[in-house]
Amino acid sequence: MEPTSTDRQFGGSIAQLYEQYLVPLIFEPYAVDLAARVVDRRPAHVLELAAGTGVVTRHLARTLAAGTSIVATDLNPPMLAEAAALGTARPVEWRQADAHALPFTDGSFDVVVCQFGAMFFDKPRAFAEARRVLRDGGAFLFNVWDRIEDNEFADVVTQGVAALFPDDPPRFLARTPHGYHRSDAIAADLAQGGFAGLPDIDTLTARSRATGAGIPAIAYCQGTPLRNEIESRGPGRLLDATGVAEAAVAARFGTGPVDGRIQALVVGIER
C-alpha cells in the first residue's frame, strides 16, 4: 500500500498533539537508539530527514561531539516550528525540505538519519537523494515500524475506529506507518536508490506505556494523519472516533495504566 497525499499532511494542531502524546508513547525509545547509532559513527556533518517535532534532533544535539553540525529537515513547516520552539541543547539548522529533492550539494554529510519517515517517501527517489548528499563511506541510518500486528496500540485503535466507519474504514496506520516492513522490499528500494550491498536490518522491540487508554486513543486519532481520514469520513466525528478507540484500548488492556508492545526495524547502509 502506497501513502496517499493526506498521509503526508501534519498540519493544524497535529504537530502539538504528536509531540505531547506520540513522542513519549512510541517515539522516545527509538530516538535514543537511533541517535546512539549516529554517535557511534563519529560524524562531522549530520543531516536528518523528516525530523518531525525533533525528538531525534534533541538527542543528537545532546550526545554528538560539540563540533558536529546538525541540519534537521522536514516537509511540514508546522512540525519544524514545533521542533524549533521546543529547542535543542545547542544550535541546530532547521530547514524545510522535501526528501525527494534535497537542497544540498553532493557529498555534504557523513550521516543521513531518518526516524519513521521513510514509510512516507517515494522510497527509491528519496534513497537516491540520501545517497547523493552522503560522502563516500558515509552512512544512511533509518527506522521503520514493523507490521501493525506487532504494534498493539496502533492495531487496536485501527480496529476500533474501523467499527465506526464499516463501509470505508480508515486505514492510515496500516497503510503507511506500518505498511513498509518487508526486509526484501527495503533492500530492493535501497538498491534502486543506488546503494550497493545489503543493508543491516535489526528488529527492535520495546514497550509503549501510558497512564490510561485515552492517551493512545488521542495520540493516534488526533496526533497523526488518521485524523484527516476520520474527519473526511464524518465531519464532527473526531471525538466519537477517539472515544471508540479509547474503549477498544481499555477493553484490551484495562482501564488503568496500559502497556503494549511496539516493534520496529532499524536499517543501516553505507554509501
Low-confidence ranges of the chain (pLDDT < 50): 5, 7, 9, 11
The pLDDT assigned to 235 comes to 84
Strand 109-115 to strand 93-96: parallel, antiparallel, or no bridges (unpaired)? Answer: unpaired
The pLDDT assigned to 2 comes to 57
Cβ–Cβ < 8 Å for 171, 158: yes
Cβ–Cβ < 8 Å for 130, 49: yes
In whole angstroms, what is the distance from residue 35 CA to residue 224 CA? 23
- The secondary structure element, H or E, covering residue 109 is strand 109-115
In whole angstroms, what is the distance from residue 268 CA to residue 24 CA? 24
In whole angstroms, what is the distance from residue 270 CA to residue 200 CA? 10
The pLDDT assigned to 7 comes to 45
In whole angstroms, what is the distance from residue 250 CA to residue 242 CA? 12
Q: Which amino acid, residue 56?
A: V
Cβ–Cβ < 8 Å for 128, 156: no
Q: Name the grid cell of 235.
A: 465531519
Q: Give the domain range for residue 205.
A: 5-270
The pLDDT assigned to 76 comes to 94
CATH at residue 131: 3.40.50.150
Checking phi first, is residue 229 left (phi over 0); if not, alpha (psi -120 to 50) or beta?
Answer: alpha
Q: Name the grid cell of 236.
A: 464532527
The pLDDT assigned to 10 comes to 57
In whole angstroms, what is the distance from residue 25 CA to residue 42 CA? 29
Question: Is residue 208 packed enough to be buried (19+ CB in 10 Å), middle (13-18) or exposed (0-12)?
Answer: buried
End-to-end Cα, the chain, rounded Å: 28
Residue 9: helix, strand or coil by DSSP?
A: coil
- The secondary structure element, H or E, covering residue 84 is helix 77-86
Edge-to-edge strands of the sheet including 109-115? 93-96, 69-74, 45-49, 109-115, 134-145, 258-270, 200-210
The pLDDT assigned to 12 comes to 54
Taking the complete model, does pTM exceed 0.85, yes or no? yes
pLDDT tens figures, 66-95: 999 999 999 999 999 999 999 999 999 999
Q: Name the grid cell of 189.
A: 528500494
Count of the separate structural domains present in the chain = 1
